[in-house]
Chains A and B, each alone.
Chain A
Amino acid sequence: QVQLVQSGAEVKKTGASVKVSCKASGYRFTDYYIHWVRQAPGQGLEWMGIINPSGGTTSYAQKFQGRVTMTRDTSTSTVSMELSSLRSEDTAVYYCAREWTSRATDYWGQGTLVTVSS
C-alpha cells in the first residue's frame, strides 16, 4: 500500500534551517511528483513547491523562493524539504503529498510539526 512517512517534529531557533524528509513506499518512486504543503496554526493550507523525483526538477511558490530547497534520493525513495532563515511565522505542520493526476494529490504524509522560537 502507498505510504508517505515523514520525519519527526522539530524545534528550531529563529534564523536556523530545518530539513523534513518524506519516505515513499508502495509504488514506483520516480513515477509521481511530490508536493510540499504547510499549515500554520489556525491558518489554511499553503502550497510550497513540487519536485519531480525522476529528474529532481523543482518548482517553488514565489513566497519561498530563495529559502526553500527540495531534493530527492532515489536510492532511498525519499524526498526532503529544507527551509532556511526560519522565522516564527514558519511554525506550521509540513506535509508531503503525492500527485496522482492533473495536479491533484491522493496520498499525504502524516505531517511534521516544525516549531520556531527565539
Chain B
Amino acid sequence: AQKVTQAQTEISVVEKEDVTLDCVYETRDTTYYLFWYKQPPSGELVFLIRRNSFDEQNEISGRYSWNFQKSTSSFNFTITASQVVDSAVYFCALSSSNSGYALNFGKGTSLLVTP
C-alpha cells in the first residue's frame, strides 16, 4: 500500500521568511514518482515538480527547492524568502505502476504568508 504523510496541517510565516514543507511517503515499489502541487483558493491544482525514485538530486527553481532523501523516504519542499502570493495549500503526491500511475495525495499543508 502507498501512503503520503504531510504532518504539518497549517504553517504561518511572515513574508521573506524561509519555510519548509515536509512530506514522508511509504511504498513497496522500487520505481515510483513524487510530486508537489499547489492549490490556491481558486481550487485548481498547479503542478510544481515531479521526481522519480532513481534521481535523488536536489532541485532548485527560483525560490523553490526540493530535497529528496530515499533513506528517510522524504521529499521536502522549501520556499525561500516567502511572499504573500505563496499562500496556498500544498500537496505532496506519489504514483507508481502498481497504482496505474494515479496520484496518491497527502492531506496537504496550508501555508499562510502574512505581510
A and B associate? no
Chain A contact residues, CB within 8 Å of chain B: none
Chain B contact residues, CB within 8 Å of chain A: none
